[in-house]
Amino acid sequence: MNGGSDNQNIDDIGCIEAINDLYAYLDGELTDPETVAKFEHHLEHCAACYSRIELETALGRLIRDSAEENAPVRLQRRLRKLIDDL
Ligand SMILES: [Zn+2]
C-alpha cells in the first residue's frame, strides 16, 4: 500500500486564490493549464469552495441566459455583490 503519492507536485492555492481564479475561470479567461489544474485540484479537496463554485456556475448560467434577453446590468451587479457578501 503506497497511497497518497499522486498529485504531490500540485500546491494547494488556498480558498482566496481559488475564488479569485473563479471569475476568470467562468469568463473563460483562465487559459494557463497549470493554473486551471491547481484551481480544479483545490475544488476537489475543498467542500466550501466546491459548493460556492456550484452557486457561481448556476448564477453565471442564469446571467448568460438572461443576457440574451437584454438582462439589465444592474441585475448582474446585484448578483455579483450578493456573491461577494456570502
Ligand atoms: Zn477552498
Q: pLDDT digits over 7-48, tens only?
A: 557 788 999 999 888 888 878 888 999 999 999 899 889 999
Residue 65 to residues 4, 69, 81, Cα–Cα distance (Å): 41, 7, 19
The mean predicted confidence, pLDDT, of the chain is 78
In a domain, residue 39? The reply is: yes
4 domain-assigned: no
Percent of the chain residues topping a pLDDT of 90: 20
In a domain, 8, yes or no: no
* Cα-to-centroid distance, 42 and ligand 1 (Å): 6
Q: What is the pLDDT of residue 33?
A: 92
HEC-encoded secondary structure of 36-78: HHHHHHHHHHCHHHHHHHHHHHHHHHHHHHHHCCCCCHHHHHH
- Identify whether 1 is part of a domain: no
Which residues make up the environment of ion ligand 1, defined by Cβ < 5 Å? 15, 46, 49
Q: Between these two residues, 56 and 15, which has the higher pLDDT value?
A: 15
Residue 60 lies in a domain: yes
Do residues 38 and 49 lie in contact, with contact meaning Cβ atoms separated by under 8 Å? no
- pLDDT given for residue 5 in this prediction: 45
Query: How many domains is the chain partitioned into structurally?
Result: 1
Q: What is the Å distance from ligand 1's center to 2 Cα?
A: 26
Whole-model pTM: value is: 0.55
